[in-house]
Amino acid sequence: MDDRPTFLLIGASNVTRGLGVLVEEVLARSQTPWRFVVAAGHGRALAVGSRFLFRGLPALEQCGAWDEISRCRLDSRSRLLVSDLGNDIVYGVAAGRVAEALDRLLGSVAQRFGAGLVLGLPLKTLSRFSERRLRWWKQVLFPLHRTPLSWILRESEKLDLLLRRWCEDRRLRYLVPRPEWYGRDPIHFQPARGFCSIAEEILGNQRPAAPVKWRPPLLIPWHCSTLGGWSRTRSQPGTRLEDGSTVSWY
């Protein structure tokens, strides 16, 4: 019987970029093997599929993470992190639909985790940027999407409010991203700053007992993806760590 605690991570670019830091922090603080279930990826969204360069991934609500979670033994040691929920809005999905998708996925299981944290949208960081700079960043980060900036900002505020209410109803922690995590990029925080703080928030005041070094593979073995128009399926977990931890990539 697999008695390892489960850590479900849902997100997009921030989770993908910072996963190595977060896994290192979790393993160093707990000193026990984990079962990491990762539903993330650059440009990922809850309600719609996404593409990054030549790689395509399904909508998060359609990925295989939920089948694996249904088979996991969730207990007081299990953890949940939800991040990067703004991409849907950039793709033209209204705030209400994003909140509904999140509730369909996690509404019935969120309270089975020992602790859960939802990272809010970086509204404070966005407010520091002029409209001109935000338009420039939108063109750089999402060059193929023409959703009006004014609509994105308005729906982002609506989604932030809906997420706060959803967390209150589910007794989950809602964490406002700290402006000091960010540099010039308004939506991607610096992993070492953000995820060290997030690990402390979600695991309590456990201090790292010993340093752990791990970085995700350069070519991530996604469960279901497309590459250059070709569909690919890989069995999970796709990565095994020396201490017995595993990472499933969805």
CATH number of the structural domain spanning residue 40: 3.40.50.1110
* pTM across the whole model: 0.92
What pLDDT digit, counting tens, does each position of 77-87 carry?
999 999 999 99
> What is the C-alpha to C-alpha distance for residues 71 and 78, in angstroms, rounded to an integer?
13
What tokens appear for 71 in the block?
């088979």
18-22, 91-95, 142-146, 191-195: least confidently modelled range: 142-146
Helix (H, G, I), strand (E, B) or coil at 240: strand
CB under 8 Å to 168, separation ≥6 — which residues?
174
Task: Look at residue 245 and tell me if it is in a domain.
Answer: yes
Task: Look at residue 183 and tell me if it is in a domain.
Answer: yes
Place of tokens 């928030």: 201
The Cα-based distances of 160 to 119, 174, 176, 214, 248 in angstroms read 10, 10, 10, 33, 28
Name the average pLDDT for the chain: 91
Question: Is the Cβ–Cβ distance between 14 and 81 less than 8 Å?
Answer: no
User: Mean pLDDT over residues 130-147, rounded?
Assistant: 84
Task: Look at residue 1 and tell me if it is in a domain.
Answer: no
| Terminal C-alpha separation, the chain | 23
Task: Look at residue 176 and tell me if it is in a domain.
Answer: yes
CB under 8 Å to 6, separation ≥6 — which residues?
34, 35, 36, 37, 69, 72, 73, 74, 78, 79
Number of domains in the chain: 1
User: Mean pLDDT over residues 19-37, rounded?
Assistant: 94
Computed on alpha carbons and rounded to an integer, the radius of gyration of the chain in Å comes to 17
What tokens appear for 210 in the block?
């010993």
The domain in which residue 34 lies consists of: 6-249
